[in-house]
Amino acid sequence: MMPPSPSAAGDAARRRRQQRPLVSWSKVVNETVNGTHEYTVKGYSLAKGMGAGKYMSSDTFTVGGYQWAVYFYPDGKNPEDNAAYVSVFVALASEGTDVRALFELTLLDRSGRGRHKVHSHFDRALESGPYTLKYRGSMWGYKRFFRRTALETSDFLKDDCLSMHCTVGVVRTRIEAPRQLSIPVPPSDLGLCLNELLNAGIGSDIVFEVGDESFKAHKLILAARSPVFRAQFFGLIGDPNMDRVVVEDVESPIFKAMLQYIYSDVFPDVYELSGSLSMCTSTILVQHLLEAADRYGLDRLKLLCEEKLCEEISSDTVAATLALAEQHHCTRLKSACLKYAAVPGNLGAVMQTEGFGLLEESCPALLLELLETIATGDAGSGKLCRKRSDSSVIGLDLAEGVDSNGRRTLRRLVD
């Protein structure tokens, strides 16, 4: 018998390989996206007597792409309990359908001994599975969270104040499968390269004189990023041959930070810049940077400054930031300042600052808007009283007065 030819043997091997079943795989992974919100009730005794079924709500917080809120019922949720218990619930505060989640409510021991009272749904997940919230307003919690007489004599209530942690774990399902081979591509480094060009001054064709410092730059890059520079260098009345510009009304650290943003498209490191300046906080620097961004038509930088100032709003800074937002037409920042100042717990502190007095003198219309915000949001009622402080407030030093046009003026960063 003749042995098979090499070609016939190869064909047979190929047929066997083709007949092998293809094996693929995938894995479904169920997991939770967890987040915790600390909710404090201050002045607990004043909340008693609201009536069964009436609650006080926490601010909303986000976990797993949904908004949540804690509802605290000082007289209980169930009228049949005759206010013998306090009730606590966690509610879905945003639109959603069949949202599955686990919950944990922890009443904090305020004596410092760490004997917290924990009601955890996480521990019972294997027994009953996650809780399903059908729609917005669905709640999970306890009608009889704590007997009120026991609570009022416990270490959980101290100085008429109690605190609790609410943990929500939203169930997420994802599928894992083998990925195709790919070639990694590094992120763009265009901004880094342009920033190096700025720092080295290579090919620069314009020099800005700002105070005692000079900055080399490139007109084409500036014109591409700023409509003001475009008009200055290449507009109808611009001069493309100018090689030196004297900049007034902008401090050199602010102008430097603005140039860094123009070249890199990255918000400057505020803390690095402010660390080299005397009597300067990051908030003041960002306020000046917002002015420069508005002056040179850098809309994205202006929005980034608004975002940063919104994050840093406090009773010490809100008056100056509100005036700045009004002057430079920052509607969202202005709205955030008004809402912050209108909160009863913040309003008294804001009114005691020097910045509030300067705001009253330079922007009286803003005070009317503040009153409207208080009335609309039911933030408080009664007579408004103000106690002036003779001491200077850090963060409001930039509001030193009003210019001839009625605009607020900012304090210089360096003397």
Give every CB contact of residue 32 below 8 A, 6+ residues apart in sequence: 64, 101, 102, 169, 170, 171, 172
Residue 30: helix, strand or coil by DSSP? strand
Same domain, 294 and 348: no
Angle CA 190–261–208, to nearest 5: 110
Residue 18 lies in a domain: no
Q: Which one, of 358, 347, 368, lies nearest residue 403 by Cα?
A: 358
Residue 246 lies in a domain: yes
Last residue of a domain, one of 263, 298, 333: 298
φ and ψ of 161, to 5 deg: -140, 140
Residue 203 lies in a domain: yes
Does the pTM surpass 0.75? The reply is: no
Q: What is the pLDDT along the chain (415 residues), one digit of tens a residue?
A: 555 565 666 666 666 656 667 788 899 999 999 999 999 999 999 999 999 999 999 999 999 999 999 999 999 999 999 999 999 999 999 999 999 999 999 999 988 888 999 988 887 766 778 999 999 999 999 999 999 999 999 999 999 999 999 999 999 999 988 877 778 899 999 999 999 999 999 999 999 999 999 999 999 999 999 999 999 999 988 888 999 999 998 999 999 999 999 999 999 887 677 664 433 477 889 999 999 999 999 999 999 999 999 988 888 888 888 889 989 999 999 999 888 888 888 888 888 877 787 777 777 788 878 888 777 764 443 333 333 333 333 233 333 344 444 444 454 454 4
Give every CB contact of residue 3 below 8 A, 6+ residues apart in sequence: none
Same domain, 39 and 167: yes
Residue 243 lies in a domain: yes
Same domain, 326 and 278: no
Same domain, 113 and 219: no
Tokens of residue 338, six digits: 């008004």
φ and ψ of 6, to 5 deg: -55, -35
Q: Which one, of 31, 172, 39, 47, lies nearest residue 104 by Cα?
A: 39
With 0-12 CB in 10 A as exposed, 13-18 as middle and 19+ as buried, what is 99? buried
Same domain, 288 and 360: no
Residue 187 lies in a domain: no
Q: What is the CATH number of the domain that holds 341?
A: 1.25.40.420
**Alpha-carbon span 413 to 291, nearest angstrom:** 13
Q: Is the dihedral of CA 337, 343, 346, 349 positive or negative?
A: positive
Which domain range does residue 255 map to?
192-298
Q: What is the CATH number of the domain that holds 214?
A: 3.30.710.10
Last residue of a domain, one of 176, 207, 223: 176
Residue 4 lies in a domain: no
Q: Is the dihedral of CA 284, 290, 291, 293 positive or negative?
A: positive
Angle CA 242–247–250, to nearest 5: 155
Same domain, 343 and 253: no
Same domain, 282 and 399: no
Same domain, 201 and 164: no
Can you say whether residue 11 is alpha, beta or left, with left for phi > 0 and alpha for psi between -120 and 50 degrees?
alpha
Same domain, 225 and 288: yes
**Alpha-carbon span 328 to 161, nearest angstrom:** 41
Tokens of residue 342, six digits: 């209108």
Q: What is the CATH number of the domain that holds 149?
A: 2.60.210.10
Number of domains in the chain: 3
Q: Are 88 and 164 in contact (CB under 8 A)?
A: yes
Same domain, 32 and 167: yes
Q: Give the single-character DSSP code of 316.
A: T
Last residue of a domain, one of 145, 176, 207: 176
Residue 223 lies in a domain: yes
Same domain, 35 and 155: yes
Residue 88 lies in a domain: yes
Same domain, 73 and 149: yes
